[in-house]
Every structure is written in C-alpha cells, then in structure tokens.
Amino acid sequence: MRHCHSRVVLSPSRAGLSLLEVLVSVAIFLGAMTSIMYALTLGQDAEIAARLRSEAVIRCEAVMGELIAGVSELESSADNPFQDDDTGNWTWTSDVSSEAGNGLLEVRVIVEHRPGGMEPNASFSLVRYVRDPQLFIDVMAGGSQ
C-alpha cells in the first residue's frame, strides 16, 4: 500500500505588497514631504526677514550719518522716501529733540519697510546724542563782535 503524503504549507510566499501596505507607505511619505516643505517655507521666510532687517540697519545708519554730518537738515521729519529705492517701500523718520539737556540733541532715526503702504514688515531705530550745532553758531557770533 502506498501512502500519499500531501504537503501542507504553513506560510505561503508572497509575491507583492498588499493595498494597505502601499497606502500606509504613501501616507508616511506625504507626511514627511509636508514637514519638509513647511521647514523650507519657514527657512525662506526667516531669510527674507533677516535680509530686510539688515537693509534697514544699513539704511538707518546712512541716514543718521547724513544728519550728523550736516548733509541733511538736523530736524524732525516723517515718512521721507529713499532716493535709491525704486519700489517706494522704504521710508525714514527723524525726531530731533533738545530734551537731553546740557546742549545735547537727541536724534532718533526710524527706518521702515512698508510693502504697498501696509504695516511695516521690517524696521530699525537708532538713537544718538550730538551737540547742538546752534551752540557753536552762537559762540562764533558772540566771539566776532
């Protein structure tokens, strides 16, 4: 008598992936891509903000230098445009007050970047104390009499 032995396979070999496995891997991939894109957007926004802030600092120091050197009038003024700005988004304001006392003037310069006249997205303020030039004029006028 011949015995017939049948072979029982406990774990069949699989040739491919199931639909569920594909969907889970696609969901993980999309989640990772979303996170990476968000991080890139944040980095780009930070780069633009840093560039605008640096330009505001440079422009503010230039205006302060012109005011102290006498190139521009040492007086308060508001919303002055920059001549080299083709976009018209950069403005500067100066505030000159003699409240510091002892013949000193407090000179405050504020530079702002206002795209399209909206709220400023970059600004910088600088304060310096300088001697009142009128004191020198008064001394010179008194000495020549």
pLDDT, tens only, 32-41: 999 999 999 9
Residue 60's CB: how many other CB atoms inside 10 A?
Answer: 19
pLDDT at 1: 57
Its pTM surpasses 0.85: no
pLDDT at 10: 53
For residue 108, the cross-strand partners are 95, 127
pLDDT, tens only, 115-141: 887 888 899 999 999 988 877 777 777
What is the pLDDT averaged over residues 63-74? 92
Domain ranges of the chain: 19-143
- Listed in order, strand segments (DSSP E) in the chain are 77-81, 90-101, 104-113, 122-131
pLDDT at 133: 80
Share of the chain above pLDDT 70, in %: 87
pLDDT at 112: 94
CA distance 49 to 46: 5
The overall average pLDDT reported for the chain is 86
